[in-house]
Structure formats: C-alpha cells, structure tokens
Amino acid sequence: MSKPVSEPMNQSRLAPTLLCLCLALGAAPSLRAGEADVLEGVVTPLGDDRYRIDATVRHADTGWDHYADRWDVLAPDGTRLGSRELAHPHENEQPFTRSLTLEIPAGVTRITLRANDSVHGTGGASVELDVPR
C-alpha cells in the first residue's frame, strides 16, 4: 500500500491564511485598529456650571501599543475644557462609556466630544452636544 502524496499548498491561498493568522495574533495592529470614535455623549447639569459628561468610545484596541487613551471636551473655538484619561486598553469592552465631571463656562452653549488613540492621535468621529442651562 502506498502513502498518499500531498499536494503543495497553493501560494494564492497561503497569503490570506498568513494575513489572518498575523491579525489574530496581533502582529499587525495598525491594520486592525484605526482612529478612536466617539459614538454618543450625554451632558448632565450638576449645578454651579458643573456638568457630568458621559462619552461612549469605540476603538479596536489591540493592547498597550494601540488603544484609545483619552477623550476630550472642546468648546466651539477648540479650547479644551477637560479630558478623561483612559488608563488601559479596552480590548474586550467595546464600545465603552466613561464619565468626567467638569466646569463649563456660562457662555459655552455647545461642546464637542473627541477621542484620541495612542497611535493616530485625534481624528475619528466626534459628537457635538448642547449644554443644558
């Protein structure tokens, strides 16, 4: 009885298989994780020009080398009113919501929530919200 002869793997099938394997192992994080996006936000007045801001962020975090590391609250003129630092990657929690309490000056009636990631900086989707007075 003779042994079956295996055919060599077709190279056109090998490349996609290797790419999938590399992505699954995190070998090419820049191919998987783009910019961080703010999906939605909520502004809750607390009194005395203080507000709780909740932001829902989505980013394909791949670990410490590429993750959403902050989101900002911006005035209409681009002034940063506050930032929520994100202390660790959220690979297994997407999207995620975090809050920040800050003072918003009386003249500011609209804010923008913008996320940042450790590789691309800012640039993903942002959300504009009215400030309830």
User: Is residue 21 domain-resident?
Assistant: no
Split into its structural domains, the chain has a count of: 1
Segment 47-68 mean pLDDT: 93
Of the CA atoms within 13 Å of residue 14, those in its CB half-sphere come to: 4
For 16-27, how does the pLDDT look when each residue is reduced to its tens digit (9 = 90+)?
444 444 445 444
For 77-88, how does the pLDDT look when each residue is reduced to its tens digit (9 = 90+)?
999 999 999 989
In order, the DSSP letters of 84-117 are EE--S--TTS-SEEEEEEEE--TT--EEEEEEEE
Burial classification of residue 7, based on how many CB atoms lie within 10 Å of its CB (0-12 exposed, 13-18 middle, 19 or more buried): exposed
CATH number at residue 104: 2.60.40.10
Of the CA atoms within 13 Å of residue 28, those in its CB half-sphere come to: 9
- Quote the mean pLDDT of the chain: 82
Structural domain range at position 110: 33-130
User: Is residue 13 domain-resident?
Assistant: no
pLDDT(130) > 50: yes
pLDDT at residue 21, rounded to an integer: 44
